Amino acid sequence: MKNYQDSDYAANKYASGIVYRFANQTVMVTLANYLCENPDKTEADFNQLKALSDGLYLQQVRADNVQSKRAISFHVLEETTCCAVPSPEDTYIEAEQEAEKQAHRQRLTKEILSKLTDVQRRRYLLYYVHGLTMRQIAEKEGVLHSKVQKSLLAAEKKIKNILADN
């Protein structure tokens, strides 16, 4: 008999007889033992019983494998963030931080817009917020395209300087 240490299935499959493993011993029923205890049975009956026991042990191994794949250690779950729900404290802190960021952005936007000239502010908002092209802004205001372009470049330069200071 080989592979007794692997599993009941392996012990039974590779043995010439039918193997029963108990906590303190392993018992093997050979063909001779089987025929001696069951004189009315044949070798075909023994082979059929052996195949049945192999099948039962295989089902047991498969069931154990399925169960072990489902069983997850709690220690693994502690490290998992995708399944975890954030605590109310963390949620509150994140919401407060997001509100602070939003307030900072609003203050910065007001500061930036206040540093631009009226023309720069109007053209900047038309271009970046409302999505008009430079040509559309020029036609709307009745000026040359190059004037709108220069105005936007000057506004962008001021904005970069303000952001660099912050």
Q: Does the pLDDT value for residue 81 go beyond 60? A: no
- Residue 5: per-residue pLDDT: 56
Q: Residue 11: is it exposed, middle or buried by C-beta count within 10 angstroms (0-12/13-18/19+)? A: buried
Q: With helix as H, strand as E and coil as C, how does the chain read?
A: CCCCCCCHHHHHHHCCCEEEECCCCEEEECHHHHHHHCCCCCHHHHHHHHHHHHHHHHHHHHHHHHHHHHCCCHHHHHCCCCCCCCCHHHHHHHHHHHHHHHHHHHHHHHHHHHHCCHHHHHHHHHHHHCCCCHHHHHHHHCCCHHHHHHHHHHHHHHHHHHHHHC
pLDDT, mean of residues 93-120: 93
Closest CA to 112 of 63, 158, 46: 158
The CATH fold of domain 100-165:
Arc Repressor Mutant, subunit A (1.10.10)
What does the alpha-carbon distance between residue 94 and residue 91 come to, in Å, rounded to a whole number? 5
Q: Binning pLDDT at 50, 70 and 90, where does residue 151 land?
A: very high
Instruction: Judge contact between 50 and 35, C-beta under 8 A.
Output: no
* Residues 108-144 pLDDT 10s: 899 999 999 999 999 999 999 999 999 999 999 999 9
Tokens of 153: 């470049």
Location of structure tokens 């010439």: 16
Could you state, in order of their start, the residue ranges of all structural domains in the chain? 8-70, 100-165
Instruction: Judge contact between 123 and 152, C-beta under 8 A.
Output: yes
